Amino acid sequence: MRKMQCEVCGSTEIKKTTDDTFECQSCGVQYSKDEIQKLFVEITGTVKIDHSDEVDNAIKRAEQFVQSDDKQKAEEYLNKALDMDAENEKALKLLEEIADGKKLDAFTLVEATVDPNTTVERFLRELVQVDDIACDIYNEVDVVSVKQYYRPAFYSKNRCLCTWTAVACHVYYENETVWEEKYDPNKRKYVKEPVTKKVKRVNRVPENGSFYFDCNGFGFVSDAICKGITGVEASSKSELVECFEELQADKYWEYQLKKLDMSQVTKQDGKLYYNGLEIDFEIDSAVYQNKRKRIVDSSDQEALNRAESEVGGDYCENLNAKRTVVEHSVQYILIPVQVIEYTYKGVHYAAVLDLVSESLTMPKLYPRDTSLDQTKAELSADRAYAQKMPGTLVGGLILGVVWGLLLVFAAITDMQDDGFITVLMGMAIVSLILMIVGLVQRNARRTRVEQKAVEYKKAIYRPRRMALFAMYEQFFASFDKHGNIAVARKSLPAADLVVSEFKMGLAVAEEAQPRDANLTNLLNGQDARAEQLEAEIAKLKKIRIVAYVLMALLMFGVPFIVGVILYGNTNGKILAKKAELEKINQGWFGA
């Protein structure tokens, strides 16, 4: 191959001195880059200039700007390098990292503090705390997938202006003389007499005003969590994720938000990872706009209430309020989310938790004990029936009203008929007897329902809980030893021994009491407190019956007042003790 020669002396020793000039080492003649290119074309017909040094320098300058967090300048130098070497892998990779960094710059991060490898065991241990879960859950549970990601969420801050108009109504009273007909017993006819009364008047004054208020809220900006759960009905998934979202909204102010440390970000198979967790930073604008609108709309009633309070007067009419968002800002956050999917008898369930909370609470779908559900429904129907007024009580009240109206008529007409008075007295006695009988019937109904609930608790609920706790201990004794769910399941009795109508769990519960002292104390303590509350409620109900009787004697003023006071006192105590009793039974007993 011919070498490029100097046009003056013919020497082939031509070297590059600067980026744009070349020099003959023999005679010192200098050539520009374009002139050298022409010489090279004359010899070979093609030209190729080595820009490797320039490319390397451009990439080094880009790396310096990356270190100083000037991504725009870094991109400029990387593009220069690619102009000279379009396939330079280092420049392409660095440019891609800068593009990813720009996307991540929009987010702050809640760093995961919980080891995702520990959450499955924590989840399985938590199942025993669910009040109405199927008691053979540990016989059938199988974890099918565990996924964790950083999912994108947002906190929206909205400054709103509310402008309102209304009519303030100011109530006042004036004296007014009117003619009224009154019955004159002496004249035995109605006569007109002047009567002065206070008459209600309303002064209506148009009002208007405005005020600013804040409306803030939290939400996820995609449906990725919901879509990531498989094998579960759409409605159940949505309910689960909404529950998780509400939980995150409550925790938001507890979180320590931080900027992403890009040195902890890695890329594999086109996906970004932060400390080993995949990052999902895709923002669904439609989801975001819908949730932001819901956050703002939720403040409308609060704005109306405040506007009403500012109107003045005794009350207002024709209140109209218009809300306008005047300032808006949004903070995007990456939340570490884990989804656990598991099966029970082949049916899929799921739980969602964040990898920040140490608390043993996580929204979950779980198999419910169908026998307990039937018991709840039956008790609810019985309680609804017990709340209804018996026909005898309704009849007594109606008869009492009729008696009262006839008594008023007798007083107005000054009736002296002994037979009529006797009928009135008979009606009063019959009305009183019917009301007392009705109250006794209603109380008897309620007592029967409560007794039935106690029997169900002892015959159904208690054995299932004991069986659940016993299997929980056997399961984890094996799980702690082998670390395998399938092996732990094999250590339990066969499912047909555990699930058998009303004998569910009795075989296990009677032979294997829970060895966990905390669980045993929990059950025994709750039972003892429940029995104490039931005894106190029964005692108070007897006193309340006395109150009913005294109130029924409303024709005698003092007993009625005493009855009302006694009723209010005892009924308040009964309600308080019932509320505590329902908490002890964790929902199902108070169904």
With cut-offs at 50, 70 and 90, classify the pLDDT of residue 405: confident
pLDDT in tens, 244-285: 999 998 888 888 898 888 788 888 887 888 888 898 888 888
* Cα–Cα distance measured from residue 122 to residue 492, given in angstroms and rounded to the nearest whole number: 20
SS3 content of the chain, % helix, strand, coil (to 5): 55, 25, 20
Give the pLDDT score at 188: 75
Rounded to 5 degrees, what are φ and ψ at 126? Answer: -75, -25
Give the pLDDT score at 10: 67
Residue 234 has pLDDT above 60, yes or no: yes
* Cα–Cα distance measured from residue 172 to residue 174, given in angstroms and rounded to the nearest whole number: 7
Give the pLDDT score at 511: 44
Residue with tokens 């004998």: 503
* Cα–Cα distance measured from residue 405 to residue 422, given in angstroms and rounded to the nearest whole number: 15
pLDDT in tens, 61-80: 877 777 777 777 776 777 77
Mean pLDDT, residues 223-236: 88
Residue 497 has pLDDT above 60, yes or no: no
Mean pLDDT, residues 451-469: 76
* Cα–Cα distance measured from residue 309 to residue 198, given in angstroms and rounded to the nearest whole number: 28
Give the pLDDT score at 1: 46
Residue 153 has pLDDT above 80, yes or no: yes
More confident residue, 387 or 316: 316
Q: According to the 3-state scheme, what is the secondary structure of 303-328?
A: HHHHHHHHHCCCEEEEEEEEEEEEEE
Residue 341 has pLDDT above 90, yes or no: yes
The answer to pTM > 0.85 is: no
- Each domain of the chain, given as residue ranges in start order, spans 1-49, 52-99, 116-166+208-354, 370-584
Residue 150 has pLDDT above 90, yes or no: yes
User: Which neighbouring-strand residues pair with 268?
Assistant: 271
Q: Average the pLDDT over each of 173-177, 367-371, 561-565 and give the range with the smallest value.
A: 561-565
With cut-offs at 50, 70 and 90, classify the pLDDT of residue 151: very high
Tell me which residue of 349, 308, 304, 347 sits closest to 323, measured CA to CA: 304
Give the pLDDT score at 85: 72
Give the pLDDT score at 553: 58
Longest dimension (CA), the chain: 155
List, as one string, the DSSP characters of 347-362.
EEEEEEEESS--SS--
Give 534: exposed, middle or buried? Use CB within 10 Å, 0-12, 13-18, 19+: middle
With cut-offs at 50, 70 and 90, classify the pLDDT of residue 16: confident
pLDDT above 70 covers a percentage of the chain that reads 78
Give the pLDDT score at 159: 92
Give the pLDDT score at 549: 65
**The amino acid at 263:** S
* Cα–Cα distance measured from residue 562 to residue 549, given in angstroms and rounded to the nearest whole number: 11
Task: Collapse the DSSP code of 66 into the 3-class scheme (helix H, G, I; strand E, B; otherwise coil) and give the result.
Answer: helix
Name every residue whose Cβ is closer than 8 Å to that of residue 35 and which is 6 or more positions away in sequence.
22
Q: Average the pLDDT over each of 80-84, 248-252, 366-370, 435-439 and give the range with the smallest value.
A: 80-84
N- to C-terminal Cα separation, the chain: 98
Angle CA(384)–CA(390)–CA(395) in degrees, nearest 5?
Answer: 145
Task: Collapse the DSSP code of 184 into the 3-class scheme (helix H, G, I; strand E, B; otherwise coil) and give the result.
Answer: strand
pLDDT above 90 covers a percentage of the chain that reads 16
Average pLDDT score over the chain: 78
Q: Answer whether 481's CB lies under 8 Å from 518's CB.
A: no
Tell me which residue of 158, 461, 119, 506 sits closest to 303, measured CA to CA: 158
Give the pLDDT score at 541: 73
Mean pLDDT, residues 492-499: 58
Burial 273-310 (b: 16+ CB within 10 A, else e): bbeebebbbeeeeebbeebbeebbeebeeebbeebeeb
Task: Collapse the DSSP code of 122 into the 3-class scheme (helix H, G, I; strand E, B; otherwise coil) and give the result.
Answer: helix
With cut-offs at 50, 70 and 90, classify the pLDDT of residue 45: very low
Residue 451 has pLDDT above 50, yes or no: yes
More confident residue, 112 or 406: 112
Mean pLDDT, residues 438-461: 77
Q: Answer whether 570's CB lies under 8 Å from 115's CB.
A: no
Residue with tokens 């159904």: 460
Tell me which residue of 255, 253, 272, 256 sits closest to 264, measured CA to CA: 272
Mean pLDDT, residues 21-33: 74
Mean pLDDT, residues 471-487: 88
Residue 472 has pLDDT above 70, yes or no: yes
pLDDT in tens, 550-559: 665 554 555 5
Give the pLDDT score at 32: 75
Give the pLDDT score at 87: 76
**The amino acid at 464:** R
Give the pLDDT score at 144: 92
Give helix 418-456 / helix 370-387 axis angle, nearest 10°: 170
Distances (CA, A) of 452 to 75, 89, 223: 76, 77, 46
Q: Average the pLDDT over each of 126-140, 189-203, 420-434, 558-572 and give the range with the smallest value.
A: 558-572
Residue 382 has pLDDT above 70, yes or no: yes
Give the pLDDT score at 428: 76
pLDDT in tens, 132-142: 888 888 988 99
Taking CB atoms within 8 Å and a gap of at least 24, the contacts of 249-255 are 249/217, 249/218, 249/219, 251/354, 251/356, 251/357, 252/155, 252/218, 255/110, 255/333, 255/356
pLDDT in tens, 274-333: 888 898 888 888 999 999 999 888 888 888 889 998 998 899 999 999 988 999 999 999
Give the pLDDT score at 157: 92
* H helix count then E strand count, the chain: 19, 12
Give the pLDDT score at 418: 60
More confident residue, 395 or 569: 395
